[in-house]
């Protein structure tokens, strides 16, 4: 698998220069509107904070895609149109959920429909379509679950966008999302003036799922490798909670990244570590090694992190986890 700066630069279009300005304008509007995320028992923040920063991310991303595609007339637009439709639909539903808090099953149905819209133009058979929809729904939820501390989700996806653009996968599209996320980050990390909310995390995650299910000119599992740290955290937590008899559909503070911060690891350090996990996944997957060796190379840091945090949590967290 080759990373090419030429591939990355091919994605630079005039639209890239419009994204930051548009994103900042939308974020400032959302800060002024001040739909607040009030802290609850499982929250990492302690004071009401505006949410909806994802409207700046996704709004600037979707609005500039047509402009970017005008500079790349050779691009196949049907898959991009499907992605835009699914992302727009999920963004609308997620923003409504940020305000009104829908039931979990309603949100899952919306995610399935959005995933279907994204997967349909790039899928060759009904069976593969079903698998792609399941993968997209899993990725959407996994990246949303991880959006619990400042900068973790947004930074991880931004890094992934740049790496995927380096492989030549839709750089004219992914650079727009990367720039929108980077524009958002100073508003959220290390200190949050605004959260991106479900409208940002779920919608951006759906774009990553779209990358994962497309026919690739490179090794198709790179997307999964990039988010291996996040997927490990989510799957380990689900399995651990299932064995403990916890209700899996209930909100909690039991993810590894949450246990880390609850046990005293600085939030910024945890965020930076998960960004490193994203870079590590790309590095390992670029090595000319057998598949088993690649998997072991990716999993080893996650396993060590898990042991460290579980031991630390046993010593320092006195409440249920």
- Determine the angle formed by the axes of helices 171-184 and 53-70, rounding to 10 degrees: 150
Are 218 and 127 contacting, i.e. CB atoms less than 8 angstroms apart? no
CA 18, CA 165: separation in Å to the nearest integer? 19
Residue 230 has which token pair? 């996040």
Q: At what angle do helices 53-70 and 77-100 cross, to 10 degrees?
A: 170
Looking at the chain, the number of H-run helices and the number of E-run strands are 14, 2
C-alpha 130 chain-centroid distance: 21
CB-based contacts of 88: which residues, under 8 Å, 6+ apart?
Answer: 62
Tokens 């774009």 correspond to: 207
Annotated binding site for Mg(2+): 144, 198
CB atoms within 10 A of CB 78: 10
Residue 251 tokens, joined: 């909100």
Geometric angle at alpha carbon 215, from 212 and 221, rounded to 5°: 40
Binding residues, by number, are 144, 198
* Cβ neighbours, 10 Å, residue 163: 25
CA atoms of 57 and 145, how far apart (whole Å): 18
- Torsion 189-187-253-133 (CA) sign: negative
């Amino acid at each position: 698998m080759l990373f090419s700066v030429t591939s990355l630069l091919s994605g630079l279009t005039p639209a890239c220069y419009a994204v930051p300005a548009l994103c900042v304008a939308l974020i400032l509007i959302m800060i002024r509107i001040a739909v607040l995320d009030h802290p609850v028992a499982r929250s990492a923040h302690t004071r009401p904070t505006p949410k909806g920063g994802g409207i700046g991310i996704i709004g600037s991303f979707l609005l500039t895609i047509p402009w970017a595609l005008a500079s790349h007339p050779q691009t196949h637009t049907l898959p991009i149109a499907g992605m835009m439709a699914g992302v727009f639909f999920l963004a609308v539903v997620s923003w409504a959920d940020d305000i009104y808090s829908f039931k979990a099953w309603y949100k899952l149905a919306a995610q399935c429909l959005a995933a279907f819209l994204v997967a349909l133009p790039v899928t060759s058979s009904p069976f593969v379509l079903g698998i792609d929809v399941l993968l997209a729904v899993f990725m959407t939820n996994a990246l949303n679950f991880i959006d619990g501390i400042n900068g973790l989700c947004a930074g991880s996806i931004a890094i992934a966008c740049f790496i995927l653009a380096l492989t030549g996968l839709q750089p004219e599209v992914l650079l727009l999302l990367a720039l929108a996320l980077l524009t958002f980050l100073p508003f959220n990390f290390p200190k949050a003036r605004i959260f991106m909310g479900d409208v940002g995390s779920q919608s951006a995650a759906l774009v990553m799922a779209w990358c994962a299910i497309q026919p690739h000119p490179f090794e198709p599992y790179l997307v999964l490798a990039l988010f291996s740290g996040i997927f490990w955290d989510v799957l380990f937590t689900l399995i651990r909670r299932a064995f403990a008899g916890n209700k899996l559909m209930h909100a909690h503070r039991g993810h590894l990244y949450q246990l880390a911060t609850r046990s005293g690891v600085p939030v910024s350090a945890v965020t930076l570590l998960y960004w490193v996990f994203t870079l590590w996944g790309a590095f390992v997957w670029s090595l000319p090694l057998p598949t088993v060796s690649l998997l072991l190379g990716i999993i080893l840091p996650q396993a060590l992190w898990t042991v460290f945090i579980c031991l630390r949590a046993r010593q320092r967290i006195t409440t249920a986890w």
